[in-house]
């Protein structure tokens, strides 16, 4: 069973449908017990970093995610759901993240922001997430990103004005800056790769 | 590889059907929105836009139902515009499965609406739709309301600059002079807005030939939106993208 953490963050309906292609049971919930026990937990996230952190706190998201990390259970962060896994972000004002991944989140240095649309990725050769879709494009919509390689993890990068981390795979912690649930067939394959690893 | 230029089919919907006319008059029924949306997704559309041109609140309920059904079946971004007046309208559409919403007249009447939406949902969900036409204003382009029939008194460049400072994440620039004419995009207008905009610009209005898309992108458009050329099968989304790729533009094929 896959749980999508519901903490009042935008369009969760299409995320649920996209994961249902690969998994027979997908629930959108903020119930801590279900979120902790699920085979995989998806942490979505849109909007500002600080707002997402505040909303996460309001449903006990930090405890849910920490508990899963402790138990070595799969977590998949998407977009701002990836960013909150890092130590901090300077979006609007400095704000602490969950600190699960080392590094910080800062504005992408590009003349036109948000970085909006389909872009390619440069996955690590050992990547499980991108197996069979290394050459595909994925849908991005963000202005901030993590840029420093995370040591001990498989780092996937994308270029927009500068190089940034478009995905991270570190054991049971997986995250993408792009939206796989909005990335058509390539996104569906990426989700399938993750689901089959659970 | 860099960020791909986007091709966005637009479906004007009213009362559960797709309609499209010339200059928003003489509406012609051209199909079931969800079926059309699926067709465009299959053809390689990079995003989809539903523009709700409903006249009544009963018809608007139908649009939310369409969004819900489309989001069940389509895994590319969906923007919904038309008749959005407040935060509740936005929340309802995002909950139904929209990824972005576009605001037009309501923001002209009350610009604070842009701040409210952006603060609550982030600038990535907020598209400012500008119905613009040539007029003797400061930049030579003015903002219109009522489907291009009335002047708002606002200069396009002044309005776009203000809207971006209020938290808009993308500009949908619709040329009311060119809309429905199939005579090509207003390239000067695209250039003028591109020059002052820090956010992506979608060009709309006037697509008639495949080469029009390349012209709009060369003029600075980050994405191009079109309706009738796709609905009536003049050419497909795929035809346009192949042409752009052949010309060396960065395109997702």
A159 touches chain B (CB under 8 A): yes
A114 in contact with chain B, both atoms CB, cutoff 8 A = yes
| Model confidence at B197: pLDDT above 50 | yes
Q: How confident is the model at residue B180 (pLDDT cuts 50, 70, 90)?
A: confident
Domain-embedded: residue A122: yes
Chain A residues closer than 8 Å to B37 by CB: none
**pLDDT (0 to 100) of residue B20:** 64
Looking at the complex, does the CB of residue B92 fall below 8 Å from at least one CB of chain A?
no
**What residues contact B244, with CB distance under 8 A and at least 6 apart?**
B5, B7, B213, B214, B217, B251
Q: What is the pLDDT of residues A42-68, one digit of tens each?
A: 999 888 899 899 999 999 999 999 999
Q: Does the beta carbon of B68 lie under 8 angstroms from any beta carbon of chain A? A: yes
* Euclidean distance between CA atoms A40 and B19, whole angstroms: 43
Examine the predicted complex and report whether its ipTM is higher than 0.90. Answer: yes
**What homologous superfamily is domain B6-246 in, according to CATH?**
Aldolase class I (3.20.20.70)
Nearest to B114 by CA among B171, B61, B51, B47: B171
Chain A residue numbers with beta carbons less than 8 Å from the beta carbon of B224 are: none
Structure tokens at A76: 């998949």
The residue among B50, B77, B80, B101 with the most chain A CBs within 10 A of its CB, best to mutate, is B77
Q: Could you tell me the pLDDT band of residue B22, with boundaries at 50, 70 and 90?
A: very low
Say whether pLDDT at B57 is over 80.
no
Size of interface A-B (CB pairs under 8 A): 106
- pLDDT computed for residue B25 by the predictor: 46
Q: Is the model's pLDDT at B169 over the cut of 90?
A: yes
Chain B residue nearest residue A161, CA to CA: B2
Residue A192 lies in a domain: yes
Q: Is A183 on the interface with B (CB under 8 A)?
A: yes
Residue A67's SS3 state is: helix
Q: Which two tokens stand for residue A139?
A: 């849908």
The rounded mean pLDDT for chain B is: 91
C-beta of residue B133 within 8 angstroms of C-beta of residue B155: no
Mean pLDDT of B43-55: 91
Phi, then psi, of A191 in degrees rounded to 5: -65, -40
> Whole-prediction pTM value?
0.95
CA atoms within 13 A on the CB side of B27: 13
- Residue A93 pLDDT greater than 60, yes or no: yes
The per-residue pLDDT for range A99-124, each reduced to its tens digit, is 999 999 999 999 999 999 999 999 99
Q: Please check whether residue A96 lies inside any domain of the structure.
A: no
Point out the residue among B4, B77, B96 whose CB comes nearest to the CB of A119.
B4
Decide which of B155 and B74 is more confident: B155
* Sole residue written with tokens 């993590």: A146
pLDDT at A78: 96
A75-87 confidence digits (pLDDT tens): 999 999 999 999 9
Lowest-pLDDT choice from A130-134, B57-61, B108-112 = B57-61
**The pLDDT of residue A23:** 93
Q: A128 vs A13, which has greater pLDDT? A: A128
Domain containing residue A77: 2-91+101-196
Overall number of domains in chain A: 1
CATH number of domain containing A132: 3.40.50.880
Which has the closest alpha carbon to A123: A105, A101, A138?
A138
Of A48, A137, A179, the CB nearest to B122: A48
Mean pLDDT check: name the lowest of A73-82, A175-184, B22-31, B228-237.
Answer: B22-31
Per-residue pLDDT for B160 more than 80? yes
User: Which pLDDT does position B23 carry in this prediction?
Assistant: 43
Is residue B212 pLDDT above 60, yes or no?
yes
Cβ contacts of A159 on chain B, cutoff 8 Å? 1-2
H/E run at residue A40: strand A40-43
Q: In the predicted model, is pLDDT for residue B19 greater than 80?
A: no
**Residue A92 touches partner B, C-beta closer than 8 Å:** no
Do the beta carbons of residue B23 and residue B51 sit within 8 Å? Answer: no
Q: Which residues on chain B are in Cβ contact (under 8 Å) with A112?
A: 197-200, 222
Q: Using CA of residue B68, residue B69, residue B73, residue B75, what is the dihedral sign?
A: negative
Confidence of residue A163 (pLDDT cuts 50, 70, 90): very high
Catalytic residues of A: 79, 179, 181
Chain center to CA of B197 = 16
- Report chain A residues whose CB lies below 8 A from the CB of B77: 139, 141, 179, 182
């Amino acid at each position: 069973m896959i749980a999508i953490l519901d903490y009042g963050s935008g369009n969760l309906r299409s995320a649920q449908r996209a994961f249902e292609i690969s998994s027979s049971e997908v629930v959108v919930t903020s119930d801590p017990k279900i979120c902790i026990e699920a085979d995989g937990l998806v942490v979505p996230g849109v909007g500002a970093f600080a707002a997402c952190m505040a909303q996460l706190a309001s449903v006990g998201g930090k405890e849910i995610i920490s508990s899963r990390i402790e138990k070595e259970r799969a977590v998949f962060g998407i977009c701002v759901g990836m960013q909150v896994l890092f130590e901090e972000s300077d979006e609007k004002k400095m704000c602490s993240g969950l600190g699960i991944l080392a590094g910080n989140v800062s504005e992408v240095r590009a003349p036109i922001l948000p970085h909006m649309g389909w872009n390619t990725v440069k996955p690590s050769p050992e990547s499980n997430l991108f197996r069979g879709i290394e050459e595909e494009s994925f849908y991005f919509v963000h202005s901030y990103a993590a840029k420093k390689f995370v040591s001990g993890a498989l780092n996937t990068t994308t270029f927009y004005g500068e190089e940034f981390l478009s995905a991270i795979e570190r054991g049971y912690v997986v995250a993408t800056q792009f939206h796989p649930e909005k990335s058509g067939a390539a996104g569906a394959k990426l989700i399938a790769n993750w689901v089959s690893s659970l | 590889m860099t960020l791909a230029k986007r091709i966005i089919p637009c479906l004007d919907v009213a009362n559960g059907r797709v309609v499209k006319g010339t200059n928003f008059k003489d509406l012609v029924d051209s199909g079931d929105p969800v079926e059309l949306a699926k067709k465009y997704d299959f053809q390689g559309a990079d995003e989809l836009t539903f523009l709700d041109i409903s006249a009544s609140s009963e018809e608007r309920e139908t649009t939310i139902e369409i969004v819900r059904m489309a989001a069940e079946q389509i895994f590319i971004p969906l923007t919904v515009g038309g008749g959005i007046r407040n935060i509740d309208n936005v929340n309802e559409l995002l909950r139904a499965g929209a990824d972005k919403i576009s605001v037009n007249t309501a923001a002209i009447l009350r610009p604070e609406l842009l701040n409210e939406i952006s603060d609550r949902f982030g600038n990535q969900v907020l598209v400012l739709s500008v119905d613009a036409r040539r007029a003797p204003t400061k930049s030579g382009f003015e903002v219109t309301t009522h489907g291009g029939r009335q002047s708002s008194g606002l200069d396009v460049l002044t309005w776009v600059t203000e809207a971006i400072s209020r938290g808009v994440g993308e500009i949908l620039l619709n040329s009311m002079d060119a809309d429905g004419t199939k005579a090509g995009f207003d390239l000067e207008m695209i250039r003028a807005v591109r020059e002052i905009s820090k956010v992506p610009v979608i060009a709309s209005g006037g697509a008639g030939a495949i080469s029009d898309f390349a012209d709009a992108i060369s003029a600075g458009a980050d994405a191009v939106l079109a309706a009738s050329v796709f609905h009536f099968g003049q050419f497909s989304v795929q035809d346009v993208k192949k042409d752009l790729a052949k010309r060396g533009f960065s395109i997702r094929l």
